[in-house]
Amino acid sequence: MEFFVSWILVNLLPFLVILTILVFVHELGHFLIARRNGVKVTTFSIGFGPELLGWTDRHQTRWRFSLIPLGGYVKMLGDADPSSGRADESLQLDEQEKSHTLHNKTPLQRMAVAFAGPAANILFTIVALSLTIMVKGMPHLAPVIAKVEPGMLADQSGIVEGDTIHKVNQKSVKDFYTLRRIIQESVGKDIELEIERNGEILHKKISLYQMDPTTQEKKPIKRLGIMPPAPIYISHNPFMAIVHGICISWDLTLETFQSLYGLITGKHSSHELGGILSIGEMAAQSTKSGLTSVIWLMALLSINLALINLLPIPVLDGGHILLCAIEMIRGKPLSAKAQEYIFLLGFLIVGSVMLFATWNDLLRYKVFHIFKSWF
């Protein structure tokens, strides 16, 4: 049992702190733009379920921390539920009160409120990275092999610690990030590495796949099994720090889109999908590495939170934007019954994905075996 408590403190607590910050930023975006458009916000909650503590401000918004700290929401006047999917028809509101509900606003105003949450996360990423680069510097990972994992493809191919990768398929490699990206793009193909070892230039051909002896099909290999050296931080002035912050945010956005596209098209296995335990482990590792690592992880998760919420799935912000767009095209909103079914479908989709990701985590970390050993 002591080990169980220790695991919570080491893995779960850092994750909850990071998640709380990112959820607050996301919901604050919704809150500010809603207020800007004359919408009354009745509840700003970090977490779900019963309230643990809270206060009411002068605008009659209840700010609260709730029991289940896995997300949050802003509930607006006239909403039937925290997702703002439909209006509560049972409420008896006068004309003045109706003018302060989200559902009484124009489609463009509602789209702005929905988009504000993801936009806040994207802005947070840019600001956090820019400030970190300004204060700490821009991390540079030289394309040098600091460690080779025994038995992995790199080890089998004769790559050793201290090797410097200059080119992959005649493409120059300026840092370890570039090396990693080129390798990811070349999965399932043959690559040629130009390596410098003790002042000598070597060329190695490596196949990022394995032939199935039965079917003669290529089984992609996604990892070489190499580790980068410790980062070197390069200082930049404020202007260049902001430029780098924007560029890195854009790169993270593209990588997230590529990952989502890979999952949807089947290019990436659905078993790669991770849930709370996977993110918790990442949070724990970044915490051990220091504040800079925590900020970089927060930037990655913030971009992921923004882009996932922009998917056109009901209950997510992208679903709200899509319904507003449909309303603008039709000239009138969908019926209340149709919206109810659409949002129910959205809950089922999101809930199923979360359950599947959690199941992957339970199998990945052998949680059932660990629980048996604890109890």
The pLDDT tens digits for 315-328 are 889 988 998 999 89
260 domain-assigned = no
Query: Which range marks the domain in which residue 158 is found?
Result: 142-230
Question: Looking at residue 3, what is its pLDDT?
Answer: 46
Instruction: Round to whole Å and give the CA distance between 338 and 331.
Output: 16
Question: Looking at residue 254, what is its pLDDT?
Answer: 86
Indicate whether 52 and 154 sit together in one domain.
no
Instruction: Round to whole Å and give the CA distance between 78 and 188.
Output: 53
Which of these, 121, 39, 80, 67, lies nearest to 315 by C-alpha position? 80
Per residue in 189-237, pLDDT (tens digit) is: 888 888 988 889 989 888 888 877 777 677 877 788 888 888 888 888 8
State the CATH number of the domain containing residue 149. 2.30.42.10
32 domain-assigned = yes
Answer yes or no: are the C-beta atoms of 363 and 272 closer than 8 Å: no
pLDDT of 22 higher than 70: yes
Query: Which residue carries 């909850």 as its tokens?
Result: 16
Indicate whether 124 and 194 sit together in one domain.
no
- Provide the domain count of the chain: 2
Instruction: Round to whole Å and give the CA distance between 138 and 131.
Output: 10
Indicate whether 55 and 23 sit together in one domain.
yes
Question: What mean pLDDT is reported for the chain?
Answer: 83
Q: How large is the average pLDDT for residues 86-90?
A: 64
Among 230, 249, 281, give the residue marking a domain's end.
230
Sign for the pseudo-dihedral over CA of 85, 88, 89, 95: negative
Instruction: Round to whole Å and give the CA distance between 91 and 42.
Output: 14
Q: Show the tokens assigned to 140.
A: 């540079």
Indicate whether 118 and 223 sit together in one domain.
no
User: For the chain, what's the residue count?
Assistant: 375
pLDDT of 155 higher than 90: no
Among 196, 211, 230, give the residue marking a domain's end.
230
Using 50, 70 and 90 to split pLDDT, how confident is the model at 249?
Answer: very high
Q: How large is the average pLDDT for residues 38-64?
A: 92
Question: Looking at residue 246, what is its pLDDT?
Answer: 94
Q: Specify the 3-state DSSP secondary structure of 159.
A: coil
pLDDT of 374 higher than 60: no
Could you list the active site residues?
A: 27
Per residue in 101-120, pLDDT (tens digit) is: 888 889 999 999 999 999 99
Instruction: Round to whole Å and give the CA distance between 42 and 54.
Output: 13
Indicate whether 105 and 150 sit together in one domain.
no
pLDDT of 5 higher than 60: no
One-letter identity of residue 104: N
